[in-house]
Amino acid sequence: MKMCSKDFSTRLRANYNKSIEIYEGRLISKLLELFLAYEEDSNVKLVIMKGNGRAFCSGGDVAAVVHDINRGNWKIGAKFFWEEYILNYVMATYSKPQVSILNGIVMGGGAGASVHGRFRIATENSVFAMPETALGLFPDVGASYCLSRLPGFFGEYVGLTGARLDGAEMLACGLATHFVPSARLSSLEAALHKLDSSDPAIISAVIDEYSLQPYLKDKSTYHRLDTINRCFSRRTIEEILSALEREAVKSADDWISSTIQSLQKASPTSLKISLRSIREGRVQGVGQCLIREYRMVCHVVRGEVSKDFVEGCRAILLDKDKNPKWEPSRLDQLNDSMIDRYFSRVDDEEWEDLKFPARSSYTASALAKL
């Protein structure tokens, strides 16, 4: 049986070191090419995605987009996001099971390459985060669809604060479907290679044989879901902060103070558009979410309302002084019309909304996402 894990991992290793030059554009193109080819190959029963080393994908792929923006080539950056979101859509609607082994860091684009798949395996080494608001961006790659479907308002918390989750927390909130100790991964992969079936029930049963129920730490954020729901269910960022501050008065809790600090350090523009994006994602299918996110990211890279994306990448990824100068610098300097622009079509004759490749058929699980 033909399997894909070797194909993907070798290409990931070969291309990732050159990402500053090609910002993973060629890698994304190659992954899309492989996914579409394997879908038509009857010898391929399932697709395994994994990283090399200590990360599944550690993010940072947007750094080179900033180089193009600074050279006045925002459309090159937009093309990168176009291809990335198309890949996300293909993964979300894929007719064959995708098994993502998340044994390490899962951030940024890596989240999009995994969360849309049928099976998502966390380990004791997994670290998941969507830190985009600290970069002047927003949780994209279809995150507005996935985060909005986490229990309660946990998705708003994760998306707005960039909070890091371990493997046990990923399983508890639904970002992971299974938890497998890293020592068992090689045996699991061997068992998956022996399968000659695309039946999700059969694949799940094999993964179950190597899975266990991890211990959720006493100080896990997920134990604070009631507090998160009380605060992050609020209508605006200002109201969320006020709710957190009221909680801080009632309890001297380091978690509450660190959550407030995370929000205060983030780009005000990013916070506002991220909250609206996740809220809209609650009532939209994955395709609608990606189309909306593409509009948003094009406005971000154009920098008409705010240039926070360039500044955030400078401060966090390039110069690494961790001291971004946001503009606008305060939440009260942003009005509704400024935020509305991020959700509108781009005023450029050559620009068009995201368009997805034709799909021959949809599985029941794919249809449920649409």
| Beta pairing class for 98-102 and 127-129 | unpaired
Q: Which of 25, 77, 108, 109 is catalytic?
A: 109
Number of H helices and number of E strands within the chain?
A: 19, 8
Q: What is the DSSP letter of 357?
A: P
Helix, strand, coil percent content, the chain, rounded in steps of 5 = 55, 10, 35
Question: Which tokens sit at 239?
Answer: 């109201």
Contact 149, 200 (CB under 8 A): no
| Annotation marks residue 140 as catalytic | yes
Q: Which of 25, 51, 60, 104 is catalytic?
A: 60
* Backbone angles phi and psi of 226, in degrees to 5: -60, -45
Q: Which of 293, 357, 368, 306 is nearest to 335 (CA)?
A: 306
| Annotation marks residue 132 as catalytic | yes
For 128, other C-beta atoms within 10 Å of its C-beta total 26
Question: Which tokens sit at 336?
Answer: 């509704």
- Helix (H), strand (E) at residue 129: strand 127-129
Contact 119, 203 (CB under 8 A): yes
CA distance 294 to 346: 10
Contact 72, 122 (CB under 8 A): no
- Helix (H), strand (E) at residue 166: strand 165-166
Contact 243, 282 (CB under 8 A): no
Q: Which of 140, 156, 169, 308 is catalytic?
A: 140
| Annotation marks residue 109 as catalytic | yes
Q: Which of 84, 132, 156, 169 is catalytic?
A: 132
At position 240, the amino acid (one-letter code) is I
For 242, other C-beta atoms within 10 Å of its C-beta total 13
CA distance 126 to 130: 14
Active site residues per annotation: 60, 109, 132, 140
